């Protein structure tokens, strides 16, 4: 085993063993790059902080980008690849015209390449950026294991079926998360990432005007006054407004769970968390002050960011294309 591979292995083990922190940055387990690119994690952190200060809304975008990457072929930055025929992951139904952060990740990669070319993967940058973005808007930190490689394959067809849908039932969500090694408790707590998310009216039109395929029917699980507010923001068959997932827009907190419990979750998948005894218990628990949501979310993110690390990959020179 080469020295870099050994350092990356030590980094991964350290991240798994170290506890999560409370509202503070952990010393990142950057042994993987400590000799060959010691400034890597600092560059990511500083650039993410600048991005969030300029546009706080990007925190949710960077988190979602990492999430959608990890659910397809593991955390290998395959979501960043371009396709001349629009057949890559970014072109899939859950991603097209909604995923954000491609430009920002490209800029971070360029800054790191200028410092130490050819050694830091785009996949590691995605994992670090998601963590740093969450911390910047109020969430807990977690240790990020490093040493991922960038994948060479990105398929729209895979993303279409593997990424959880906002229309999923509780059982469908459990199955999607189980397919990548995450349990139902982790599924519920990771749903809390919606607290810094946003949605388009297209994601709720069916609940408001055509629920169950019945013309004019509104999902009865939506609190009536909230349904009225949504209809004002999202007129039928119109693009409408951008929607926040809870009342504290772009701040990482537990208000998402309070909204879901009050039947004010935007997505069917949010409302469906209450249809299972396990989901109802966890949503209720996380909605209360002083709950373990912050630390549980950080622990679940650490586990998610370790999904199926590719050993057959590369370190891309630019994140949107495989190396020639």
Give the E-state strand segments of 114-209 in sequence order: 198-199
Which residues are 243's β-sheet partners?
A: 199
Residue 29 counted as an annotated binding residue: no
* Residue 265 marked ligand-binding: no
Q: Tell whether residue 270 is among the known ligand binding residues.
A: no
78 is in an annotated binding site: yes
The rounded distance, in Å, linking the Cα atoms of 279 and 190 is: 12
Is 112:87 a contact under the CB 8 Å cutoff?
no
Residue 68 catalytic? yes
The alpha carbon torsion through 117, 120, 126, 128 (nearest 10 deg) reads -120
Q: Sign of dihedral through CA atoms 21, 26, 31, 32?
A: positive
246 appears as a binding residue in the annotation: yes
> How many degrees, rounded to 5, is the angle at CA 127 between CA 124 and CA 130?
145
Closest CA to 260 of 241, 273, 277: 273
Q: Hey, how many other C-beta atoms are within 10 angstroms of the C-beta on 180?
A: 18
Judge whether 164 is annotated as a binding position: yes
Nearest 5°: the CA angle 88, 91, 95 is: 120
The answer to whether 154 is a known ligand-binding residue is no
**Residue 260 annotated as lining a ligand binding site:** no
**CA nearest to 82, candidates 154, 158, 160, 163:** 154
For 145, the token pair is: 């294991």
Do the annotations mark residue 72 as ligand-binding?
yes
| 74 in a labelled binding site | yes
In terms of C-beta density within 10 A (0-12 exposed, 13-18 middle, 19 or more buried), how is residue 177 classed? buried
Nearest to 286 by CA among 266, 245, 250, 256: 256
Q: Which of 64, 68, 162, 258 is catalytic?
A: 68
Query: Under a CB-based contact definition with an 8 Å cutoff, are residues 142 and 21 in contact?
Result: yes
135 is in an annotated binding site: no
Residues at the binding site for heme b are: 194
Residues at the binding site for Ca(2+) are: 69, 72, 74, 76, 78, 89, 195, 246, 253
Residues at the binding site for substrate are: 164
Query: Active-site residue numbers?
Result: 68
């Amino acid at each position: 085993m080469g020295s870099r591979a050994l350092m990356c292995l030590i980094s991964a083990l350290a991240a798994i063993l170290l506890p999560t922190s409370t509202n503070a940055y952990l010393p990142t387990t950057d042994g993987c790059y400590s000799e060959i690119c010691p400034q890597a994690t600092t560059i990511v952190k500083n650039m993410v902080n600048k991005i969030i200060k300029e546009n706080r809304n990007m925190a949710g975008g960077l988190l979602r980008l990492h999430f959608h990457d990890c659910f397809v072929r593991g955390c290998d930055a395959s979501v960043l690849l371009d396709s001349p025929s629009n057949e890559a992951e970014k072109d899939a139904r859950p991603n097209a015209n909604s995923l954000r952060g491609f430009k920002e990740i490209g800029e971070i990669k360029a800054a790191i390449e200028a410092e130490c070319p050819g050694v830091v993967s785009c996949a590691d940058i995605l994992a670090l950026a998601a963590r740093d973005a969450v911390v910047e808007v109020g969430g807990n930190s977690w240790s990020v294991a490093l040493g991922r490689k960038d994948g060479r394959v990105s398929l729209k067809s895979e993303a279409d079926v593997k990424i959880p849908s906002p229309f999923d039932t509780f059982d469908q969500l459990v199955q999607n998360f189980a397919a990548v090694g995450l349990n139902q408790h982790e599924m519920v707590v990771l749903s809390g990432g919606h607290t810094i998310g946003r949605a388009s009216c297209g994601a709720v039109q069916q609940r408001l005007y055509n629920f169950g395929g019945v013309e004019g029917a509104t999902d009865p699980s939506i609190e009536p006054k909230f349904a009225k507010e949504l209809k004002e923001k999202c007129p039928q068959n119109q693009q409408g407004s951008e929607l926040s997932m809870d009342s504290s827009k772009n701040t990482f907190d537990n208000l998402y769970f309070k909204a879901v419990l009050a039947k004010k979750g935007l997505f069917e998948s949010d409302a469906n968390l209450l249809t299972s005894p396990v989901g109802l218990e966890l949503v209720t628990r996380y909605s209360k002050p002083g709950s373990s949501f912050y630390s549980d979310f950080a622990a679940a993110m650490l586990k998610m960011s370790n999904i199926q690390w590719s050993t057959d990959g590369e370190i891309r020179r630019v994140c949107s294309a495989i190396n020639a």
